[in-house]
């Protein structure tokens, strides 16, 4: 119970900061939209061809915007030695990990909720009724991304050139999530339902569960100074 209370408290702190400054959310949202334009100019394909590439393009956009958010995730705590203060307080480190992951998840969730419909509008795609299902798969993938991303963001915290290093260590580890979400979305878009992609979805769920557990258990080793 104490654990959940601490998590919510930390999450509230981050949300309040974000609400006042709106740094991460605005940059992520703007960058995500910008990527859609860049994709559109670089491919310039008819709608039926774009439909095949939609999952891949969307996930590229989410990966890049998500990484942008992750580099900022602990940046707030570095100012005025906030991180040291957090570590001195009698907090469970697992709660800190969970709060940070949830915060980044919430940001990405908001960005995705806008970018996905925008993608459909900009590329003149059909099949609006599939969006809720696609969004659900995206959400599961985003959980995996945020969980592992939070760990990696903390790991690279004290490294030189950490913004450059983060994607280098994160992306290879993210390959199961990238493959699973894109295959699930492709199946949904071609068949209208998940059908054969169930095993991919299970893989995705397994990934989420494993790394949430690993994160909660190992975060004090990562963050200690």
Partner 1 sequence: MPAAQPVRKRRGILGALALISIAIGLYWGLVIAPPDAYQGEVQRIMYLHLPSILAAYLSYFLVFIGSCMYLWKRERRDDILAHSAAEIGVLFTALTIIEGSIWGRPTWGVWWTWDARLTLTAILLLIYTGYLMLRSLIEDEDRAASVAAVLGVIGFLDIPLIHMSVYWWRTLHQPPSILQPNKAPWENIAWPLLIPLLINIAAFLLLLFYLLSLRYRLGEMRDQIRTRRLEQSV
Considering beta carbons, is residue 113 or 217 the nearer one to partner 1?
217
Considering beta carbons, is residue 36 or 204 the nearer one to partner 1?
204
Options 44-52, 81-89, 112-120, 152-160: segment touching partner 1 (CB under 8 A): 152-160
Q: Length of the chain, please? A: 225
3-class secondary-structure state, position 193: coil
Q: Using CA atoms, how far apart are residues 213 and 80, in angstroms rounded to an integer?
A: 30
Options 34-42, 59-67, 85-93, 209-217: segment touching partner 1 (CB under 8 A): 209-217
Q: Is 176 in the site for partner 1 (CB under 8 A)?
A: yes
How near is the Cβ of 188 to partner 1 at its closest, in Å? 17
How near is the Cβ of 138 to partner 1 at its closest, in Å? 17
For partner 1, the binding residue among 54, 153, 156, 187 (CB under 8 A) is: 156
3-class secondary-structure state, position 130: helix
For partner 1, the binding residue among 21, 22, 49, 221 (CB under 8 A) is: 221
Burial of 25 (0-12, 13-18, 19+ CB in 10 A): middle
Are the C-beta atoms of 187 and 49 separated by less than 8 Å? no
For partner 1, the binding residue among 15, 51, 87, 222 (CB under 8 A) is: 222
Options 33-41, 46-54, 128-136, 216-224: segment touching partner 1 (CB under 8 A): 216-224
Q: Describe the crossing of helices 131-155 and 175-191 by its angle, rounded to 10 degrees.
A: 170
How near is the Cβ of 58 to partner 1 at its closest, in Å? 18
| Residue linked to tokens 């963050």 | 223
How near is the Cβ of 65 to partner 1 at its closest, in Å? 21
**Residue burial 200-222, b: 16+ Cβ < 10 Å; e: rest:** bbebbeebbeebbeebbeebeeb
Residue 18, sorted as left (phi over 0), alpha (psi -120 to 50) or beta, turns out to be alpha
Among 86, 90, 68, smallest CA distance to 77 is for 86
The strand ranges marked E within 72-213 are none
Residues near partner 1, by CB under 8 A: 148, 151-152, 154-156, 158-162, 165, 168-169, 171-173, 175-176, 179-180, 183, 199-200, 203, 206-207, 210-211, 214, 218, 221-222, 224-225
């Amino acid at each position: 119970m104490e654990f959940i209370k601490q998590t919510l408290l930390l999450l509230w702190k981050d949300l309040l900061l974000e609400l006042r400054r709106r740094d991460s959310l605005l940059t992520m949202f703007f960058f995500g939209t910008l990527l859609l334009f860049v994709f559109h100019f670089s491919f310039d394909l008819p709608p039926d061809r774009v439909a095949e590439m939609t999952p891949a393009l969307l996930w590229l956009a989410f990966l890049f915007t998500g990484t942008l958010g992750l580099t900022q995730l602990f940046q707030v705590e570095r100012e005025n030695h906030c991180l040291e203060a957090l570590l001195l307080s009698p907090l469970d480190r697992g709660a800190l990990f969970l709060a940070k992951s949830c915060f980044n998840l919430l940001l990405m969730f908001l960005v995705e909720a806008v970018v996905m419909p925008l993608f459909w509008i900009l590329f003149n795609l059909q099949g609006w009724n599939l969006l809720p299902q696609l969004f659900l798969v995206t959400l599961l993938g985003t959980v995996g991304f945020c969980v592992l991303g939070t760990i990696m963001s903390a790991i690279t915290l004290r490294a030189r050139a950490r913004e450059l290093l983060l994607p280098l260590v994160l992306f290879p580890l993210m390959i199961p999530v990238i493959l699973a979400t894109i295959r699930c979305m492709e199946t949904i878009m071609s068949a209208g339902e998940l059908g054969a992609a169930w095993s991919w979805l299970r893989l995705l769920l397994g990934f989420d569960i494993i790394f949430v557990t690993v994160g909660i258990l190992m975060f004090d080793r990562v963050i200690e100074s």
